[in-house]
Every structure is written in C-alpha cells, then in structure tokens.
Structure 1
Amino acid sequence: MARALPPIAALLLLAAAPLLSACGGPAEGALDIAFVDGGATVDNPDPARDLRLTSAASHMRAATETGLVTLNAAGEVVPALADRWIVTEDGLSFIFRLRDGEWPDGSDLTAESVRRRLRSALRRLDGTPLGLDLRSVADVRAMAGRVVEIRLAAPTPYLLHLLAQPELVLVHEGGGTGDMVLEQQGRAAVLVMRPPAARGLPEQADWSDHVRPLLLRPMTIQQALAGFDEGSIDLVLGAGIADWPLANTGPLSRGTVRLDPVLGLFGLHVRHAEGLLATDAGRETVALAVDRAALIEPFGIGGWTPTNRMVAPDLPADPGLVGERWAAVPIAQRQAAAALRIARWSAANGGQAPRLTLALRRAPGLDRLFDTLAAQLATSGIRLERVAADAPDADLMLVDRVARYGAPEWFLHQFDCGVQRAGGLCVSAADALVAQAQAASDTAGRTRLLAEAEQALAQANVFIPFGQPIRWAQVRSSITGFAPNAWGFHPLPPLAEIIR
C-alpha cells in the first residue's frame, strides 16, 4: 500500500519561501527569463484542455510535467518516467521500463497507471497534427508491474521524439510529474527544482546548493532586450524573424545572440481559391515571382537556406525523390515568366492588376518582410496589400512554425484537410497518400508515398515556401544549460542547475 505523503508542491514552496518576497515580488538569486512569443501571459495551462501552446506554456509544461521521455538541452530524447526502453526488430513495439518511484501524491508509479494516462493524452490529441503523427499507435499495454508497451500498426521511427512533446506529458491529479514546481506571481512565475528523489535520482544532502530558481516573465521584445542590456534579464526566449531587427548583433554583444538551426515551415499558405489564386497555375505564378534569397537578404542572417520545397530538404532519411522546383531557372527568368502570366490574366479580367491580401501582424521584422515581398510581387504586376493578422477574408497568411521532429510526415500533416482550423487550402488526395505511407510496412513504399504526397501539394501550390524558420535567443555569456537546437526548444531544468 502506498503511504500517504504531503503534496510535494506544498513542501517545495515552503522550502522555497526565503526565495520569494512576502509581497509576491521576484525570487532572489533567480535566473531571469523573458518570453517574447506574442506577449502571452506566463501561466501553467491545463494540459487537458489547452493544446495550442505558446513557447512559454510549452516550456513550463515540460518543466512541471513529464512523460515517458523528454528532451535535453541539445534537443535529444532522454529518459524521464521511463529510465530505459527497447524497440523490437520489426519496429512495431516500443517497450519501456519505468523508473523506480511514486507519483507526487505517494501512489505507486505502475505500468497500469501510466497506461491510463498515456491513453488519455493520446485521446486529447484527436483532430490535431500531432494526433495524425501518432495515428500508427495501435495499443498501449501494461505488462509487468513497471513495463509499458506501445504497439504500432506500422513502424514509426520518430515515435520517441513524439512522446517527448509537452502535449504528451502524463498528468497526475496529485501533483506535477516534472523536475520543477511552479508558483504563480501575477503574470510572472517562479519555478524551483524538486528534490532528487522526486526526479528519480539518488538522494543528495546538499542538492539545493546546486540549483537556482527561475523567474519567468512575459514581455514585449523591446522590454526584454532593454532588461537584458541593463542586466535585469539573463535570457530572452521565443524570438523569431518578427523581432530580428531589434537583436543586438554588433561587436559589443559578445556573441549573446544565438540562432537556433531549426527545421519547419516558413512561407505563405493560400486561404481562398479566388481571383488569381483560383487555379493551380495562378498560385504557381505567385510562387514564381518570389526571390527567396533576396527576401531574407535585408535581415543579414548568414547561413539561411531558401527552398521551394514544402518538406525541408536534406532531412536525415531524405532519399532525394523530390528536388527543388525550378532549380535550373534563374530568378530573373522566373519573374519574367510570372509577369507574362499576370499580363495575360489581367487582359482576361478587365485589364485590372491582381490584388492579394496578406494577414500579417505588425512587428519590425514582419514590416521588413512585407515591404520586400510586396516589391518583388509588384515587379510581376501583382499588388500585395497587408491586412490585420486575424482578418478572416485574407487571401494569404504567413506560416512560421518550427517542426517537432525531422520527418516528412510533420510537414505534410500541417496541411491536412482535417486539421485546418485557421483556414487554408488543402489537398485530400495528398492526405490519403500520407495515411497510406504511415500504414506501409516497408521503408521504400513509405518513402515513395510521402514523395507523391509532397508532389501533389506542390502541384496544387497551396503553400508557397520561403525557407527555414528563424528562431533566436539573447543569452548572457555566463549561462549554462542552454544549447541551440533544431527544435528551438530550451528545457528549463538544465538552466536551473549550477555547474559545480
């Protein structure tokens, strides 16, 4: 029988009391972190309801709750509630051995209790792109007392990376399962480390001397960078191309601006098949007119790679079945061809130049992006106008999204007809090909079907790719536990550790 224990959160907050001011002010000695992704409040969202997470919410959920596995600072999958696992030779079974320990309320950490919570987490993802990523999961079984098996209908090489996502945390009613516990302080939050035993580690008498609290605050990019310059902020997270013009990349910054080499989607999603955008050829005309390399040139970001592909090129398992579109055609020739098409379209539509609207919020980097894009399209005779980011009738919307794992399925699932909540054209035939690929038992068949799905979406021109997304952080040189990675995700627990 599990012995009753006081809630771990209450014990930790009591132990952390000296760190918190009596009036609810910031924690003394804390590492100050500002999140700037849209200015969202820093809170502890309910994992059972909130699936569309901001960067701040994702980081806090991963710190205060955990799943079978998690991500480390380098973006690699590491043990969490499961301390080891094996994959069967056919790739159809992942078997996890749970670590010794208990849930936060003192109840036993058993295979059956994990099975129930994992099934619940999977059900919550129905109707989302992550749910599509996980549809090969056929069953979750409790085997021996601490052994859980996930059975698959077809091999899913990226399953571990999916299980490490914040949406797949295993929520326990008796308290958080993550390495840290959160204390809300208005719009800010203080996170403190749990004792080693609660994190599945050996007991350590002086453990609290080697960790520090984290103070998380939601800020605008201007506030965050001003605080960084004056020394009140140690780390700025959640910044992207919208904020890049404000980054301090000069000689005095001493390398504090760190770019994440992220994978993902960055380009225009067509929302309405009307006017010039009513046909595949019309949408292709817009894609032809975009000079992708010149689009990012005003930002001065070295190493950025443009692409015409929907799926990021050169993924680890990319067999090369899909190449760059128009790779042998110079940009001047492409733009001339687009101008000729526009002239013909205008002549057939009363002589008026086509007018397109782009939903885009106001920000320094997005202002620069829009001005360059509008000038490029204008050279081919297309008039681009900017409307509010939430305008429902906009012809185009900017997609700026970091991938969760490095496989074609993630990219293709973003355009699935069943998960289009913000509007946007889709191709049901491509969705069917992706579903067939996920059900395929052989690698060659799977790869061929995914390539056909990408080609179907490219031919329909529902998305106009620019290249890889841009994510960056401002990091004080003294900080340890931070590492740029392909997912733009920086776990909080390593940042709380003090290197001895």
Structure 2
Amino acid sequence: MPAFFPTLRGATICLLAACAVLGGCERGSDKPVVVDLIGRQEELARPQPGNVSIVSRTFLGATAQGLLSFDARGEIVGGVAESWIVTDDGQSYIFRLKQLNWSDGKPVRADEVAKLLQARFKAAPDLLGGLQPQVRAMTDRVIEIRIDTAVPSFIQLLASQRLPLLKAAPFVGSGPYGATIRLQRAYLTPLPDGLDPESADASPERDRDRRTLEVARASLALVRFQRGQTDLVLGGRYQDLPLLGVAGIREASIRADPVSGLFGLLLSGNSPLLKDATIRAAINSAVDRGAIASAFNVSGWTIAERLLPAQLDLAGSPTAPVWSGQDIAQRRATARAAVAEWVSKNGDAPVLKIALPPESGSRLLYRRIASDLADIGLSLQFQLDTRGADLVLIDEVAPFDSAHWYIGRLACKSGPGCDPESLARLADARAAGDAASQARLMAQAEALVVGQDNFIPLGTPIRWSLVARRLTGFQPSPRGVHPLNQLLPLPN
C-alpha cells in the first residue's frame, strides 16, 4: 500500500534563521535521541496499558515490552519471548521466554507473564476483534495461548504496543529501557538486555543509546523539530497535517506510515433521520472522498469506499456499496431525492452533529463533509464531545490483518441500522471447524455489516512522523510502530 505524502502548499513560517542561531537544525550523532510525542502531558505522567495514545504506547513499548514486538520494518520479533511455535490446528501458540529480569531486578517468570497477558486481553476487547484468548503457564519459562478459532494473523496482535507486560507501578517492565521521569520528561536508559544482542560492545553508558521523551502539542513539536531541538516527532495524524505547510517542514523530514485500518465516520445516536436505511445510504454515497484528499493536499493517500482494505480472510472480495461505480453527480442526485422524500413525509430534517478532534485538520474535514451533505439537503454541526453526536470519527490502525478485527469493530446490536444477525454470523465464523467455512461465514457477516450503512469509510488512517537525518535506522512501518532502540545504526 503506498503511503500518502503531503504536498506542502500555502503559508510558510521560515525558521531557518532560528536554526542557524542554534548552530544548525541537526543534533550531533553521539547525543541522546530526543523524541517529541504529540499528545497530552498527563499521558506520560500516568501511562495506561491498553491506551491507544501514541504517548502511552511509545513509553510503555519502550519500558514494558510485550510478549512479541515489531521491528522498525513492522516485522514480528521477540519481546519477552525468545521463540514460539504454532500447533497444526492453528489455535495453540506456545512461547519460550527469554531469561530476563524485570526492571526491579527480579526474574521474569511464566506464571506472572500469563496473568499479566490475560489481564491485558480482558482490558482491551476492541483490540481482539471478538477473539477470546486464554493464557496459561506450562513451565517457569513456557506459556501457551489458545484461541477459539484459527486466525493466522493472530500472531501480529501479540506484538501490539497495547499489550505491554507491566508488573506494577511505577513502570516495572522488562525494557528494553528503564525510565526516570522528572520535570515532565522521561529519561530512558537501556537495560542490560535492551540493546541489540549483535552489538557485542553495547554499553548503556553511551549517550547515543539514551532517549529523552517529551510530550507537546503538535504546533510546539514542529517548531522544536525545525529548530533542531528534537530528533524525532511521533504521533502525527490527519488533524495536524495543515501545520506541516505552515511550519515550513522539509518534505525529506516527513515520513508517512503505510498503515491499514479504519478511518471514517460511525453513525450513532437516536436521530429519527438516521433510522432510515435510505438516508444512511444517501449520506454514505454523498461524501466525495477524493475532495477530502484534495482538501488535505496529500498525494498517494488511499481513499476507501469499502469496509475492508483487501480480501484478507474472507471467501471473496470485500463487499462494495450499492452505489459503487457511479460518479459523484449520480450519487448526489439519488441521495438528494432520498432526503427530499424523507422531508416530505416527516418534515424538516434535523441538524446532524459530528464529533471530531479540535485541531485544524478537523475543521477542514468538517467543512468538506458539511458541504457534501448540504448538497443533498442536510445540515451538519461541529462539536468536540462525542456525547449526543450523530457522526463520530473512528481513526484506528488495525492491530492484525484479519476480517475478525474489522467486522468485530463494527458489527453491532443497537444503534442506527445495527443488525444483530451480523454478530451471529461472526460468532458462527469463529465456531467453524475449517478455514473454508470460516471464510464463507465471515463474508456473510461482512456483507451484513456493510448493508447496515452505519459506517462511512473515508480512507486509510493517516500516520506521519518527522525524522532527523541522523536517525538512519528509522523506517516507515505498516504497523505505525517505531522502536526507540532501532533509530540509530549499530556501531562498527
């Protein structure tokens, strides 16, 4: 999947003079790597396992690695586990743990890992796509995870940064870093096992192996990067895209992640308008995805009309909406007629409320969606709070490449257009005894979810970072994960 790339047009604030005053915009290659995370400061002070924010995920991923991890390329590597096998039926995963210590010096034991991992699963049902894994310790260094149905991509889920193995507060993990937080910064130092084992002379005393994490709003993070005060900015999303042009960031510094997932609008609430299936389809068809890409000035961004990005583990291609293949003028004409008919029967259509984040990119998205809906006779109102909203943004990277996650995320039993039969079909698919039956039943569940018309897909999630030239180990990731211990090349 090609990554998007911003085309930086518009006003530019030139900060090059400031860089010159500071002695250049690139930090020395032997200095600790400074990372700015776009988010809220309290997320660093009180990071929560299972939290989807870049701040919690990055901090806990660095200090409390999971059973598995993703490397810089998005490939699965060992975390606490050193090796693993999958049984022939695809439902049992057996892991041998490394001989590691927690950051408090106590040895990592399988029974602790099993309890922690089971607790993480229980706390993050949205991550699992309806799967119900069970974990048990087999020996002091071996654990087994069993799932209720064979899902080959399940191994990807186990590398999620939302499954950190955190034994106790404050921050008793197994690395690869230990952390000290002071003055609203996190100072990370490699634990003995935290550096690449191929680096024979690896020493936690070297400055280049240390990391400093700070949290800032996007505008401040961009200014700090432009001034050479930070090496890496993580956590860029669609809502901050307009700032790249305003700050005059060099295109060579911007790295986009080719992630998959859900980026679109979920219909919710109790509006009588949205209870009408024809109206839900009209709203979905009236949105001009290409115009949204133009509004953000991004090229290469993959727009979406279908729920799934590919066939994955369905029996056939993802279901296309009934209006797929029609041009926008045809779609709008049909949608306009549907709205006019509803109004003739029910009176004036109520104003729909859309909940989006507060940043400037959300205003662009709101204006674009509002214009599309106005063209078919509907009004839209912007709000920050999801309570009482009729359209709520979903912006999530898929934790594993399976229809289980996409369908499980959107199948529902209440709300506008929800068809409980989709949940039943999904349950049938999980209970199926063979892959062909599972794929067939999964396809039926997917078709039912698409037929609900209660989710408006817009495109792939947008994830971007700013990267200094010294970080030659940084690579765009299909998982949106960037290990802090793989940013610099190993010394010769």
Query: TM-score, with normalisation over the residues of structure 2?
Result: 0.85
Q: Residue 18 of structure 1 corresponds to which residue in structure 2?
A: none
Alignment of 1:151-230 (within 5 A): 151-173=146-168, 175-196=172-193, 201=197, 204-208=200-204, 209=206, 211-230=208-227
Within 2, Cα distance between the matches of 1:403 and 1:34? 24
Task: Give yes or no for the alignment of 1:467 onto 2:459.
Answer: yes
Amino acid at match of 1:390: D
Alpha-carbon spacing, 1:356–1:110, altered in 2? closer, same or farther (3 Å)? closer
Q: Residue 373 of structure 1 corresponds to which residue in structure 2?
A: 369
* Aligned 8 A contact 2:129 2:407 in 1: no
* Aligned 8 A contact 1:269 1:425 in 2: no
Within 2, Cα distance between the matches of 1:275 and 1:472? 38
Cα distance per residue 1:51-74 (max 9 Å; x no partner)? 333111011111111232111112
Within 2, Cα distance between the matches of 1:44 and 1:191? 16
Give the secondary structure class of the aligned counterpart of 1:486: coil
Unpaired segments of 5 or more residues in structure 2? 1-29
Within 2, Cα distance between the matches of 1:264 and 1:377? 25
Within 1, Cα distance between the matches of 2:426 and 2:385? 30
Within 1, Cα distance between the matches of 2:36 and 2:155? 29
| Equivalent residue in structure 2 for 1:383, among 363, 379, 386 | 379
Task: Give yes or no for the alignment of 1:478 onto 2:470.
Answer: yes
* Aligned 8 A contact 1:36 1:237 in 2: yes
Alpha-carbon spacing, 1:324–1:64, altered in 2? closer, same or farther (3 Å)? same
Within 1, Cα distance between the matches of 2:165 and 2:57? 14
Aligned residues: 459
Cα distance per residue 1:377-421 (max 9 Å; x no partner)? 11111111212x115212111222221112111112223548x9x
Alignment of 1:433-448 (within 5 A): 433-448=425-440
Within 1, Cα distance between the matches of 2:114 and 2:451? 42
Task: Give yes or no for the alignment of 1:31 onto 2:33.
Answer: yes
Alpha-carbon spacing, 1:199–1:435, altered in 2? closer, same or farther (3 Å)? farther
| Equivalent residue in structure 1 for 2:483, among 486, 491, 497 | 491
Cα distance per residue 1:462-484 (max 9 Å; x no partner)? 11111111111111122133211
Alignment of 1:75-90 (within 5 A): 75-90=74-89
Q: Residue 6 of structure 2 corresponds to which residue in structure 1?
A: none
Within 1, Cα distance between the matches of 2:259 and 2:200? 37
Q: How big is the alpha-carbon RMSD for the aligned residues of Structure 1 and Structure 2?
A: 2.8
Within 1, Cα distance between the matches of 2:45 and 2:417? 33
Instruction: State the shift of 1:232 in Å.
Output: 0.7
Cα distance per residue 1:322-349 (max 9 Å; x no partner)? 3322222111101011111111122222
* Aligned 8 A contact 2:131 2:147 in 1: no
Within 2, Cα distance between the matches of 1:336 and 1:38? 44
Cα distance per residue 1:280-331 (max 9 Å; x no partner)? 212111112111111221222111222221222x255455343322222111
Instruction: State the shift of 1:107 in Å.
Output: 4.4
165-174 vs 376-385, which moves further: 165-174
* Aligned 8 A contact 1:95 1:148 in 2: yes
Q: Residue 297 of structure 1 corresponds to which residue in structure 2?
A: 294
Amino acid at match of 2:402: A
Instruction: State the shift of 1:250 in Å.
Output: 10
Q: Residue 47 of structure 2 corresponds to which residue in structure 1?
A: 45
Alpha-carbon spacing, 1:228–1:416, altered in 2? closer, same or farther (3 Å)? same
Within 2, Cα distance between the matches of 1:357 and 1:181? 45
Q: Residue 322 of structure 1 corresponds to which residue in structure 2?
A: 318
Alpha-carbon spacing, 1:361–1:113, altered in 2? closer, same or farther (3 Å)? closer
Alpha-carbon spacing, 1:441–1:211, altered in 2? closer, same or farther (3 Å)? farther
| Equivalent residue in structure 2 for 1:400, among 395, 398, 401 | 395
Alpha-carbon spacing, 1:45–1:363, altered in 2? closer, same or farther (3 Å)? closer
Give the secondary structure class of the aligned counterpart of 1:90: coil
Give the secondary structure class of the aligned counterpart of 1:181: strand
Q: Residue 344 of structure 2 corresponds to which residue in structure 1?
A: 347
Task: Give yes or no for the alignment of 1:361 onto 2:322.
Answer: no
Alignment of 1:49-88 (within 5 A): 51-88=50-87
Give the secondary structure class of the aligned counterpart of 2:341: helix
Alpha-carbon spacing, 1:308–1:319, altered in 2? closer, same or farther (3 Å)? same
Instruction: State the shift of 1:496 in Å.
Output: 6.3
Task: Give yes or no for the alignment of 1:99 onto 2:98.
Answer: yes
Instruction: State the shift of 1:41 in Å.
Output: 3.8
65-74 vs 104-113, which moves further: 104-113
Amino acid at match of 1:151: R
Amino acid at match of 1:446: Q
Cα distance per residue 1:265-289 (max 9 Å; x no partner)? 1111111242321222121111121
Task: Give yes or no for the alignment of 1:414 onto 2:409.
Answer: yes
Within 1, Cα distance between the matches of 2:245 and 2:392? 28
Within 2, Cα distance between the matches of 1:118 and 1:63? 17
Instruction: State the shift of 1:249 in Å.
Output: 9.5
Within 2, Cα distance between the matches of 1:369 and 1:448? 36
Within 1, Cα distance between the matches of 2:381 and 2:486? 44
Give the secondary structure class of the aligned counterpart of 1:304: coil
Alpha-carbon spacing, 1:249–1:260, altered in 2? closer, same or farther (3 Å)? farther
Instruction: State the shift of 1:170 in Å.
Output: 2.6
Alpha-carbon spacing, 1:241–1:103, altered in 2? closer, same or farther (3 Å)? closer
Q: Residue 117 of structure 1 corresponds to which residue in structure 2?
A: 116
Within 1, Cα distance between the matches of 2:122 and 2:376? 48
Alpha-carbon spacing, 1:109–1:321, altered in 2? closer, same or farther (3 Å)? same
* Aligned 8 A contact 1:480 1:499 in 2: no
| Equivalent residue in structure 2 for 1:457, among 449, 454, 466 | 449
Alpha-carbon spacing, 1:416–1:252, altered in 2? closer, same or farther (3 Å)? closer
* Aligned 8 A contact 2:165 2:173 in 1: no
Alignment of 1:270-285 (within 5 A): 270-285=267-282
Q: Residue 17 of structure 2 corresponds to which residue in structure 1?
A: none
Within 1, Cα distance between the matches of 2:115 and 2:370? 52
